[in-house]
A and B are shown apart, each in its own frame.
Chain A
Amino acid sequence: MSDPNGLSRRHFLKGVGAGAIVAGSIEALSAEARAAAQAANPCVGPGAVPIKLSINGSVRELAVEPRTTLLDALRNHLDLTGSKKVCDRATCGACTVLIDGKAAYSCTTLAIAAQGRTIETVESLANGAELAPIQKAFVEHDAQQCGFCTPGFVVASEALLRTNASPDRAAVLEGLGGNLCRCGTYVGLKKACMSAGAPAKGGRR
């Protein structure tokens, strides 16, 4: 697992885990700087390591490999299967979650890198059987068919509505532009997102 530059996969993962250094910049560093970076960021992995994630208002402790994505941690380790895996490479948005209130692709976020951040998944939006306004709007405007892309769209819509309480058409196209649907629910999605935004009267959307 060592490469011609003397960097191991562990160094790489440590760098990513620290959230500040990426592989390319490690390679560019001098030997001293590299040593300093290593001292500042203790190595983790390659086996499972204990991590803590703040998910949907509670702290969850689990053991995952450093290479485990947040999506796989949610789905495979915590049985939070609302977030879906479709492309697994930041193209389709089916895995969208909120990290610190912003929409993020959980398939391309490492679980270890999500420590210390606030994570909200689709499961957190409804209050028991009472759906959130955006979820009600999805049902009303039939913004789902097979439903496999739907949780990702719900979370992306929620993220949009938190920053823009009554998005116009252009804002919706942009806000939902990072998600894909195969069944073709875009017409309902547009209506749902715009109508959920319309009666903005304060309070949590």
Chain B
Amino acid sequence: MSSMRMDKNWPKLEDTRLLGKRVSRLDGPDKVSGRAKYTYDQNPKDLLYAKFAWCPYGRAKIKSIDVTKAAEMPGVVSAFALRKEGDELRYAGVEVAVVAADTEERAREAARAIVVEYEVLPHNAEDKDFAAVPKEFLGKPRERKAGDVDKAFAEAEVKHTGEYGCAQITHCCLEPHGSVSHFKDDEHVAIWSSTQAISGIAEQVASISGVEAKNVEAVCHVLGGGFGSKFSLDSWDATALRIAEETKRPVKVMLERDQELMIAGSRPSGYAKVQIAATNDGTLTGWISESWGSAGAGGSSNLSLPYVFNGIPNVRLSHAGITTHAGPARAWRAPSHPQSALVTMSAIEDAAALLGMDPLALVRKNLALTGPLADTYAEELDVADRMMQWSAKWKPRDSKQGVIRTGHGLSLHTWGGGGHESNCDVRIHSDGTVDLSMGTQDLGTGTKTVVAIVVAETLGLPLEAVAVRIGEGRFPPSGGSGGSTTVGGVSSSARVGAVDAANQLFAKVAAELGAPAERLEARDGVIRVIDEPGKSIAFKDACRLIGPNPIVGHGKEDGSLMNSGVGGVQMAEVEVDSETGVVTVTKFVAVQDCGTIIDLKTAESQVFGGVIMGITSALYEERVIDPVTGMVLNPDLEFYRLAGIGDIGEIEVHMMQTERHHSRGVIGLGEPPAISPMAAVANAVANALGVRVPRCPITPREVLLALGKAGA
């Protein structure tokens, strides 16, 4: 029926109306007015609040759990143990028993009345000092070799050795993990879940509860951050589902901030001893690294070294994973990349200092080692150089400075991206209205807005004309939002669906316009004959010809409208107070490509956000584990520090957006800008002080220790 004549390929940059322009996010008004309803905000009638008793040790065995007293407290409807005698717990914060009560206060108080006896077992909190890690918690090193390392180092004109790394941090989503579940009867359940993957929730509920997937209504219209930590239902959601099933009352389980920071996801630490071999002119010839890291009580901590410069011909790598008794790692914006960038770019910066070279010159000299992105980096380095005025400002490390010392640092990064599976329905109604439904979710990245832009652009309509419905399990499924694959997937399926719908509409109006459907186009609110603008019909009038049922265009991501593989360059300028050790980022520059940009405004916001998150991990963030008890010492926002508005300096973002970039296809942007900031800031600090502060977060204490050690 639909003659696929309208070309589904993206229009040229010069021909776009909305695509690639600065468009304000559609859900902005709901968010600024408090109308947006998150999972945490759902208050169905007769709601119960679930709260947990949790393990306060890094490693312990359950001796006994007694919920009797809690069960008898006012308002408590359900109380039970989640573990049994003899069970071993491997990190602090993990749930051991639960209560559900009719108010939040009563649930909290009852959770505190649960009595648990533990046998405390030896645990490990050490992952920074490799030599101090007890053998039993050390994984077998994985090794890799290429070229002839021994020869490269024997012939090297310059050899540099250094040690670098960063601590375990958490996702710290401001909306904690959790859900509200409600059994409407024995067979039907509704669940609101704060999730990055709404389309898969029904299947998970089915496997947890025995309710059939077709009888699960799953909703997540908005969520307060995920960053890689919210891909599936968790043990606490399963517990709440069980209570909801037993009580037939809705149950809300949202982790309290302390548990959120202890058990709901973390990023592995990454440390390395690095040796670099180079020639006197700055050509990198060899790399040796022994790295280690901990993903807590589960997951992998591997690094990809040498990062970006993976064409260094002679390399020898080994990496050992360490078990620490702390909440297990989850995917955290660009898994392993920020740590790998920190180690690699720090070593390169130190090597440049040893050679007496500007690191920008050294990086430019070795760009061929970065492979297919070399030209991208070359172009971006020029832009960043201009924005930061690097060439004018950069000074070698030994420059004489006073108490407050200024420095500059840079880093490069890459990410794949691509697009996940995505399906949608685009409907055009006979009254001229248009809607799209898709089982995706908007993490704050602008997904909803992106989809609306694509449909509006395709149908020649204003943005407001398109209603976008996402965040429900009943809509055509889309993949989880992770790995910078969302925008590639959703924009592709939205385009295919809108083109399908447009072609069906063209077929309906062809006779009216006296031209074959293949010669029609939708622009500026009309359907018209190509090259005969006089022959047109208003979109609304065209829709009257649709008939009794709406047109439905089916969209399916088909791989042809997206791409993968981006490069970015970032530069930081810092001031370091050499007496107090306080580091201040004064200016930050980020240059990024991401193929076809759908919404320039939210794309820039993504980069700003990634940079700010990265600055936070460079200077402030660390999940601190008590070496004595294994308890997390800072499961709150006073001591688990996030950067505030005054901590980030002036940030400038430049998106690469020429026809060459635009014509590549859509590539996601969630991960890339969050990769380099730690390395760029660490390098700027080294440049300012003339001394390497080896570990992030670069706290005043670390700065003063490094200065003290160097006698500087």
- What residues make up the interface of A, taking CB atoms closer than 8 Å to B? 47, 65, 67-68, 72, 75-76, 79-89, 91-92, 94, 121-123, 125-126, 129, 131, 135, 138-140, 142-151, 154, 172-174, 176-177, 179-190
| Given A81-B37, A92-B174, A190-B645, A144 contacting B103 (CB threshold 8 A) | no
Is there an interface contact between B33 and A142, defined as CB atoms closer than 8 Å? no
Cα A184 to Cα B590 with chains together (Å): 14
Is there an interface contact between B223 and A81, defined as CB atoms closer than 8 Å? no
Residues from chain B with a CB closer than 8 A to the CB of A126 are 33
Closest residue to A189 on the B side, CB-wise? B645
Closest residue to B616 on the A side, CB-wise? A184
Is there an interface contact between A140 and B24, defined as CB atoms closer than 8 Å? yes
Is there an interface contact between B605 and A131, defined as CB atoms closer than 8 Å? no
B450 to chain A minimum Cβ distance, whole angstroms, is: 13
Contact of B637 among A91, A135, A154, A184 (CB under 8 A): A91
Is there an interface contact between A182 and B29, defined as CB atoms closer than 8 Å? no
Residues from chain A with a CB closer than 8 A to the CB of B602 are 142
Residues from chain A with a CB closer than 8 A to the CB of B643 are 184, 186
Is there an interface contact between B444 and A144, defined as CB atoms closer than 8 Å? yes
Cα A142 to Cα B225 with chains together (Å): 16
Cα A91 to Cα B639 with chains together (Å): 10
Select the residue from A79, A92, A186 with max chain B CB neighbours within 10 A. A186
Residues from chain A with a CB closer than 8 A to the CB of B443 are 145-146
Residues from chain A with a CB closer than 8 A to the CB of B30 are 147
Q: How large is the interface on B (under 10, 10 to 19, 20 to 34, 35 or more residues)?
A: 35 or more
Asked if B473 is at the interface (CB within 8 A of a chain A CB), the reply is no
Contact of A184 among B105, B173, B612 (CB under 8 A): B612
Is there an interface contact between B34 and A121, defined as CB atoms closer than 8 Å? yes
Contact of A131 among B32, B37, B444 (CB under 8 A): B32
Residues from chain A with a CB closer than 8 A to the CB of B616 are 184
Cα A204 to Cα B610 with chains together (Å): 35
Residues from chain A with a CB closer than 8 A to the CB of B610 are 184
Closest residue to B254 on the A side, CB-wise? A85
| Given A84-B224, A86-B637, A92-B637, A144 contacting B33 (CB threshold 8 A) | no
Instruction: List which B5-52 residues lie within 8 A (CB) of chain A.
Output: 24-25, 27-38, 40-41, 43
Is there an interface contact between B608 and A184, defined as CB atoms closer than 8 Å? yes
Residues from chain B with a CB closer than 8 A to the CB of A189 are 645
Cα A123 to Cα B33 with chains together (Å): 6
Cα A47 to Cα B102 with chains together (Å): 13
Residues from chain A with a CB closer than 8 A to the CB of B34 are 80-83, 121-123, 151, 154
Residues from chain A with a CB closer than 8 A to the CB of B33 are 82, 122-123, 125-126, 131, 135
Closest residue to A174 on the B side, CB-wise? B646
Select the residue from B31, B173, B227, B636 with max chain A CB neighbours within 10 A. B31
Cα A7 to Cα B604 with chains together (Å): 57
Instruction: List which B563-600 residues lie within 8 A (CB) of chain A.
Output: none
| Given A88-B257, A177-B644, A139 contacting B105 (CB threshold 8 A) | no
Residues from chain A with a CB closer than 8 A to the CB of B25 are 139, 142, 144
| Given A85-B40, A131-B33, A146 contacting B225 (CB threshold 8 A) | yes
Residues from chain B with a CB closer than 8 A to the CB of A185 are 605, 608-609
Instruction: List which B608-666 residues lie within 8 A (CB) of chain A.
Output: 608-613, 616, 636-638, 642-646, 648, 651
Select the residue from B38, B41, B645 with max chain A CB neighbours within 10 A. B645
Closest residue to B224 on the A side, CB-wise? A148
Closest residue to B176 on the A side, CB-wise? A86
Residues from chain B with a CB closer than 8 A to the CB of A79 are 43
Closest residue to A91 on the B side, CB-wise? B637
Is there an interface contact between A182 and B32, defined as CB atoms closer than 8 Å? no
Residues from chain B with a CB closer than 8 A to the CB of A68 are 103, 105
Cα A184 to Cα B621 with chains together (Å): 14
| Given A182-B173, A185-B609, A188-B608, A139 contacting B636 (CB threshold 8 A) | no
Is there an interface contact between B103 and A65, defined as CB atoms closer than 8 Å? yes
Closest residue to A89 on the B side, CB-wise? B636
Closest residue to A76 on the B side, CB-wise? B104
Cα A153 to Cα B135 with chains together (Å): 48
Is there an interface contact between B648 and A183, defined as CB atoms closer than 8 Å? no
Contact of B103 among A76, A121, A174 (CB under 8 A): A76
Cα A173 to Cα B105 with chains together (Å): 35
Cα A140 to Cα B25 with chains together (Å): 9
Asked if B256 is at the interface (CB within 8 A of a chain A CB), the reply is yes
Asked if B437 is at the interface (CB within 8 A of a chain A CB), the reply is no
Is there an interface contact between A146 and B174, defined as CB atoms closer than 8 Å? yes
Sample of 13 A–B contacts (CB below 8 Å): A79-B43, A80-B34, A81-B40, A81-B43, A82-B33, A88-B257, A139-B29, A142-B24, A142-B602, A146-B175, A147-B31, A147-B36, A181-B642
Is there an interface contact between B605 and A145, defined as CB atoms closer than 8 Å? yes
Closest residue to A128 on the B side, CB-wise? B33
Is there an interface contact between B174 and A139, defined as CB atoms closer than 8 Å? no
Residues from chain A with a CB closer than 8 A to the CB of B608 are 184-188
Cα A79 to Cα B252 with chains together (Å): 14
B311 to chain A minimum Cβ distance, whole angstroms, is: 32
Is there an interface contact between B605 and A142, defined as CB atoms closer than 8 Å? yes
Cα A76 to Cα B47 with chains together (Å): 10
Closest residue to A139 on the B side, CB-wise? B28
Residues from chain B with a CB closer than 8 A to the CB of A172 are 645
Cα A189 to Cα B31 with chains together (Å): 14
Is there an interface contact between B24 and A139, defined as CB atoms closer than 8 Å? yes
